[in-house]
């Protein structure tokens, strides 16, 4: 018997630690010991038979049993069919009662081992302490959930072994979460400048700069509409979307309650465009430079959408694809680019600043807009990014 009055039955021997928690090492051993070609799901299946009403949501209960998975990860496991209650697929919000049998096919825990993969990367700077990349769109920064390969972390593991004249490896900080060397992140579909740490000292010192807002991060975005005024300070607290249903859990919103965290973005207009009858839908667009004073998840996307100017192609936050009259979609992602990253070198103390021109689809989009009926270029106070395509 385990705490909370539930009896534990496991079809895989030795998967449960005293006290009722799933043993991540036992799960890993079960996977490693499975025969080639065998479906190891049965070896990772555990059952919890409840002997009293817990009056607890399913996802909350499982966090007490599978401690190496976050609640968000468990919610995704539930949505993906990895959990049943009484033989049926439940919701994360299902309240557990006496007599319920909860079965879980426990995923493999992160081992911290990153597989090196030959993936092309654009290195802007590298020394023995850190590496700065110009991230291309459609690549995630580090392994997460089912995305265990094809990430920048996988690419960097290859780079250090086979291409780098400096050698080394990513900092071990974050290894337990498969995030070695990751100081900050960019969304999957956001391109531009990103820095990784190669030593633990560099990692902690860079992280301190990000935490205390001593980093100059500038983004460029193409938004729908004619933005006024030239400079706008957007102060609106950001928190998770109130709905935890599938399709909303990844979203963030402006919310003025205890879950909303202070968030500040400075938006500076750089260029305005008007296309008369040359595109489907919107005719007015603005190229805006964005300076982050805080670093909330999806901050730029939420703030711009909240003010009525969603980013082109950002369908999660109300943006529409840029489609010309011929039906050609110029950009198939959110038109957001990390154009400049400035920080103090964590070891030498020297100021460093890196820029990334808008090439590829962002460059094509700007070129298409500049070929329109009206283009206005602004000398906006406080703007620092050079517009290069």
The β-bridge partners of 240 are 252
Question: Residue 172 — φ and ψ, nearest 5°?
Answer: -75, -10
CA distances to 127, 216, 232, 355, 361 from 387, rounded to whole Å, are 27, 17, 20, 10, 15
Q: Angle, to 10 degrees, between the axis of helix 58-65 and the axis of helix 71-79?
A: 120
> What's the half-sphere exposure (Cβ side, CA atoms, 13 Å) at 292?
27
- Residue 187 a catalytic site member: yes
**Pairwise CA distance, residues 143 & 56, whole Å:** 30
Nearest to 27 by CA among 105, 121, 132, 108: 108
Say whether the peptide bond before residue 229 is cis (omega within 30 degrees of 0).
yes
- Choose the catalytic residue: 23, 187, 314, 361: 187
Residues 6+ positions from 172 with CB-CB distance below 8 Å: 180, 200
Instruction: Give residue 206's Cα distance to chain centre.
Output: 19
Three-state SS across 137-205? CCCCCCCECCECCCCHHHHHHHHHHHCCCCCCCCCCCCHHHCCCCECCCCCCCCEEEEEEECCHHHHHH
By annotation, the residues acting in catalysis are: 187
């Amino acid at each position: 018997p385990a705490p909370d009055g539930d009896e534990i039955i496991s079809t895989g021997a030795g998967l449960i630690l005293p006290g009722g928690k799933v043993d991540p090492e036992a799960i890993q051993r079960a996977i490693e010991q499975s025969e080639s070609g065998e479906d190891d799901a049965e070896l990772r299946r555990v059952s919890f038979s409840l002997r009293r009403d817990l009056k607890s949501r399913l996802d909350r209960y499982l966090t007490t049993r599978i401690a190496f998975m976050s609640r968000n990860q468990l919610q995704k496991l539930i949505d993906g069919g990895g959990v049943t209650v009484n033989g049926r697929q439940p919701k994360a919000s299902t309240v557990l009662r006496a007599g319920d049998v909860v079965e879980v096919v426990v995923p493999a825990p992160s081992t911290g081992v990153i597989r090196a993969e030959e993936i092309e990367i654009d290195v802007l700077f590298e020394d023995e302490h850190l590496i700065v990349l110009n991230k291309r769109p459609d690549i995630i920064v580090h392994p997460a959930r089912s995305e265990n390969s094809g990430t920048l972390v996988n690419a960097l593991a290859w780079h250090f072994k086979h291409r780098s004249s400096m050698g080394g490896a990513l900092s071990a900080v974050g290894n337990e979460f498969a995030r070695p060397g990751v100081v900050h992140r960019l969304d999957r579909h956001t391109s531009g400048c990103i820095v990784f740490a190669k030593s633990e000292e560099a990692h902690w010192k860079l992280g301190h700069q990000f935490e205390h807002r001593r980093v100059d991060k500038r983004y460029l975005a193409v938004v729908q509409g004619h933005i006024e005024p030239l400079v706008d300070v957007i102060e609106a607290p950001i928190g998770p979307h109130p709905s935890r249903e599938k399709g909303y859990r990844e979203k963030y919103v402006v919310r003025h309650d205890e879950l909303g965290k202070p968030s500040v973005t400075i938006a500076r207009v750089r260029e305005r465009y008007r296309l008369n009858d040359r595109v489907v839908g919107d005719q007015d667009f603005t190229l805006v430079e964005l300076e982050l004073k805080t670093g909330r998840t999806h901050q730029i996307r939420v703030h711009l959408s909240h003010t009525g100017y969603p980013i082109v192609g950002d369908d999660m936050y109300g943006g529409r694809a840029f489609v010309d009259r011929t039906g050609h979609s110029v950009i198939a992602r959110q038109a957001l680019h990390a154009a400049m990253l400035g920080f103090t070198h964590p070891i030498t103390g020297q100021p460093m600043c890196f820029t990334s021109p808008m090439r590829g689809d962002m460059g094509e989009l700007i070129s298409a807009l500049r070929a329109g009926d009206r283009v206005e270029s602004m000398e906006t106070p406080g703007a620092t990014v050079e517009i290069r395509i």
